[in-house]
Structures are given as C-alpha cells and as structure tokens.
Structure 1
Amino acid sequence: MSDHPQPTPAQHSPGTVAGRLAVVRERIATAADAAGRRPDEVRLLVATKTQTADAVLEALAAGVDLIGENRVQELVAKAPAVADRVADGALQVHMIGHLQRNKINQVLATATGLETLDSLELARAISDRCVRDDRTGDRALDVMVQVNVTGEESKSGIEPQDAAALATAVAALPGLRLTGFMTIGARLTAAEGPAGEAEQTVRAGFARLRAIRDEVLASGAPGTASATELSMGMTGDLELAIAEGATIVRVGTAVFGPRVTATTL
C-alpha cells in the first residue's frame, strides 16, 4: 500500500480525478467492511487506457501507486512520464491487456508486472528474455495467470480446469515470480435472469478464481507460495469481487470518467 495520505470525498471536488479517486476508495472500504475484511487488504489499480500522461500524473499526485495499461503502445508512450516513480519504487506498472510475443521486449522495458499470462508458450518466451537480460531472483518479473472464468470467447485467459497446471509450470520458470491470478468477470448487464441472478453469476466466476488460487497455494509446488493475489473486479462489479476475496480491483472510468476514443499521449 502507498504511504501517501488518502484523500476523502470532502477534500476534493467530485469532478476531479482526486475527488473521483476518493469516492472509489470509499467504495472499496465500504465493500471490505461489509465482507468482514480490512480496506488495506484490497489494492486499487488505476487503469489508464486512453488517458493522457497528464491525467496519469494527476492520479499519481492523488496517491495512486499502481496503474495498469491495456495496450503496449500506450504503455511505452507513457513510460517516460512515470519512469522516475517506477525507478524509486513509488509506482508499479502492470500490463493488463493481451500480450503478443513480438511485444515482450517492450513490456519488459517498461512494466513491473504482467497480469495476462495465459499460455505456457508465452511464459517460456518471457522467461527466456528475463534470463537473457539477467532479470532473475529479486529482479524477476511479477506475473499473474489470467483465467477465463466466464467461458466467453471474447475474453482472454486459460480455461479454469487448466489454470492450476499452468500456474504450477509458470512458477517453476526462471525470471518469473508467480504472484496470483487475474480474471474479467461476467457483465452484469449481459448475465441472464433478474438482477439477483446476474450478481450470483458474477460472484460465482470470482469464487472460482479464488478456488483456483487456493488450490495452487495448497499444492506447495515450488514457486507457488507467493501466488496470493486475486486481481478481479472493475468499476461496475468491484463490490462483488471484494466480497469474493479480491486483493486488487482494476478501476478506470470511475477515476477518469468516460473513456475517449482517441488520445494525445
């Protein structure tokens, strides 16, 4: 967690990034309390897709210490603006979008973590680059296995029944540190049935990811002891994710407002 003081809604205008961040933090705290958890058990990742470097810096000034980028192009473009904070350990930058093998070098040069690992082939390619660059031991890349808990073809991630085996294999690779699991939940508006049933569908997906995490931790396999993170829940469903054990929630629109279709980085 960041050592920066956390603003409250009363301290900032609701129309500013700082004000919206305060509201999101209050939502996290309220959801954690309702689930019998401490707010500091849930970390906020601010998703910066389509945002300008200036908007990202505004979020950092409000105490954000973890951001996530969906596109490698944007990750690289914004890297110079946040490089100093990354270098001194004040900021972590996660890749939260699909990664192609030909973009591995760019991600390794700018990101501190990858949340979207979904194949052993990709994991081995990243491991090879990390070893080549002497990025092992304490300098290993933090990675999460992305799991498609909804079965939707539009979503990336490995099938749930194959996730534990992939995670165990990834944990044994040099240059990679398995820190947990990530998923994108079912859309509340797309789930069939009344609102209560829709929420149950979303929660069931999150619960399945938690079960996979717990299975891997209980296995005692080499390198799996650090796989404690559950990155799940976004602007519309973060309360449901926290109720099911999320340790990281990924929020973009609730912090920056509606996304724009184009941006000047």
Structure 2
Amino acid sequence: MTGMTASATIASRVAALTERIHSAATAAGRVPSEVRVLLATKTQDTDGIAQAIDAARAHELSVLVGENRVQELVAKAGYFAGLRTDIHLIGPLQSNKVNAALAALAAATHAAGRACIQTVDSASLARRLASRCQGNAPLDVMIQVNTAMDEFKRGIEPALLPNLAEEIANHPTLRLVGLMTIGPRSRDRDVTTAAFESLRTLRESLIDRGHAHARELSMGMSGDLDLAIAAGATIVRPGTAVFGSRPTV
C-alpha cells in the first residue's frame, strides 16, 4: 500500500470514527467533545501515527496517544515528544519495567502534555511507582478494574477498589485521575453495557469518598466504544478502527 493510499485510508477511518462518536454521544444526551480519543498505537509506525493525529485534529477530536508495551514506549519516546499531546501507558506494567516506563514517559512529554499510567492494579505497583516518581507534578494514574470479572483479563476486583484508591491517595507523587477497564469478550451488548456501567458507578463512589480528581472513565475500544460512550466513557481507545488490522508480530 502506498503512503498516499494508507493516508487516505486512515483519514477515512478517522472520519467514520468521528461519526460513531458523535452519534453515540448524541444518542446518550452527551456532548461529543466530552469524549477524548486515545489512539492505541501498538505496532504502528510513526508515519501512520502522524496521519491519524492529523486526521483526528482535522475533525476537532481531542486526541491522546497510548502504548501497550513499555519497549515500544521507550522506542517511540523521542517521536512522541514532538507530538505535544498526552501520552498514556495502557498495557500491563511489570514492576521490573517501572524505571524504564517512567523515564520514557518523562521523555515523551517533556515539551507538552501529561503522562498517565492507566493500568495500576495493585498496591505494590502503586508503591513502586510512587517511590520512583520525580518531578514537580505528581504522576497521573488510573486504576484498572476487571468489571467483567473475567479470569483472563487484568485488573483488580471491584470490591478491592476502595483500598487501592486509598493507597494511591497516600502518595503525594501520584494523582488518581480515573478508572480504566477492558470490555468483556461477549457478543451480548447487555453484558458489555453492564461492565461499562459498573465502572461508571465505581467512579461515582470514589468521588463520593473524596477522590475528587478521579473523573476519567477509560473504556471502549474499536468494537465496543459506542456502548462505552453511552455508559459515560470520557476516553475511548480505538486501534483497528483507525489503523486497520494490526500486522502480525
């Protein structure tokens, strides 16, 4: 596929994505601009990422970038720094990769934007991050919750959320900004909707407990973002809906 054809394809996909977001938000009685688009850039090259960001901005979408793998975040950090947007880690973070992840996020956002780790799922990881964070501002983090109670998915059980939120609140180098979940592997729209609505309810309970900054709901990917928006998502994480099928790696 030529660069021009690839660019046109990404542009057309972003246009279709914009329509989906607007339709889902309007149907839910929401303002479309309340929904930010996090481009899931796993395995994508910088040309494709640049095309996607340009197309998203042309459609006046509020766009973020998210990497699943620490090694890719490290490799692309220099490029990301020039994008002047927020960079999020949206994949699992092992404790032995915390230093590399924090250094890459700092490099990727040194010019503008904020860094965020969306996948904090244990007190031990929160403590490790807190002890290694440096800088004038706290690191934004989200708690990943397994609202689907799927044994094959990462994230804490909903019942454990209050304790982890309190753990994070005890560390001044961390700032809890919201919750993240991955939708269930189900074709039943009611099952998926229930998982997303559960995250919204959990977010509301955290705010009631005094976690005032915990307002983000990162949920919904290419196949289910419409349902996530209806349930209150503030960040959706499309990948294939923008970039097409991922290359085999």
Q: TM-score, normalised by structure 2?
A: 0.88
3-state secondary structure, aligned to 1:142: strand
| Cα separation, 2, equivalents of 1:56 and 1:125 | 31
| Structure 2 residue 85 is matched with structure 1 residue 91 | yes
Distance in structure 1 (CA, Å) of the matches to 2:53 and 2:168:
32
Which AA in structure 1 matches 2:246? R
Contact 1:14/1:20 (8 A) holds in 2:
no
**Counterpart Cα distance in 2 of 1:160 and 1:71:** 25
Q: CA deviation at 1:231?
A: 0.3
Distance 1:183 1:82 in 2: 24
CA distance in 2, matches of 1:205, 1:233: 11
Alignment gaps of 5+ in structure 2: 106-114
The residue aligned with 2:190 is 200
Given the alignment, which residue of 68, 71, 75 partners 2:69? 71
2:160 corresponds to which letter in structure 1?
D
* Cα distance between partner residues in 2 of 1:234 and 1:82: 21
Do the aligned residues in 1 keep the contact of 2:7 with 2:48 (CA within 8 Å)? no
**2:223 aligned with 1:229:** no
What displacement does 1:102 show? 1.2
Per-residue deviation, residues 117-149 of structure 1 (Å, max 9, x unmatched): 00010000000001xx3x24xx21110000001
Q: Does residue 1:57 correspond to 2:60, yes or no? A: no
* Aligned mates of 2:38, 2:144 — CA distance in 1: 16
> Is the aligned partner of 1:45 residue 2:4?
no
Deviations 1:10-63 (A, max 9, x none): xx9995212211211111111000000000111111100111122112222222
- 1:140-174 CA-to-partner distances (Å, cap 9, x unmatched) read 11100000011112110000111122112212212
Q: Which residue identity lines up with residue 218 of structure 2 in the other structure?
A: S
Q: 1:168 touches 1:216 (CA, 8 Å); kept in 2? A: no
- The amino acid across from 1:177 in the alignment is R
Partner SS, residue 175 of structure 2: strand
Q: Which amino acid aligns with 1:116?
A: T
Report the 3-state secondary structure (helix = DSSP H, G, I; strand = E; otherwise coil) of the residue aligned with 1:187: coil
SS in 2 for 1:251: coil
Equivalent residue number for residue 167 of structure 1: 165
* Structure 2 partner of 1:35: 28
Is structure 2 residue 140 aligned with structure 1 residue 142? Answer: yes
Q: Does 1:210 align with 2:200?
A: yes
Q: 1:178-189 alignment to 2 at 5 Å?
A: 178-189=176-187
Q: Percent of pairs identical after alignment?
A: 52
2:154 is paired with a residue of what secondary structure?
coil
Unpaired runs of 5+ residues, structure 1, are 1-11, 190-197
Looking at structure 2, the residues matched to 250 and 218 of structure 1 have their Cα atoms a distance apart, in angstroms, of 26
- Number of equivalenced pairs: 231
After superposition, the Cα gap between the structure-2 partners of 1:13 and 1:110, relative to the gap in structure 1 and judged at 3 Å, is closer
Residue 123 of structure 1 is matched in structure 2 by: 126
Aligned to 1:101: 95
Contact 1:164 / 1:212 at 8 angstroms: preserved in 2? no
Residues 117, 144 of structure 1: 8 Å contact kept: yes
1:25 maps to which residue?
18
What do residues 165-220 of structure 1 show as CA deviations (whole Å, max 9, x unaligned)?
Answer: 2112212212111100000011233xxxxxxxx11111111111111100010012
Which residue number corresponds to residue 5 of structure 1?
A: none
* TM-score, normalisation: structure 1: 0.83
CA distance in 1, matches of 2:28, 2:7: 26
Q: Report if aligned partners of 1:13, 1:19 keep a CA contact under 8 Å in 2.
A: no
Root-mean-square deviation over aligned CA pairs: 1.7
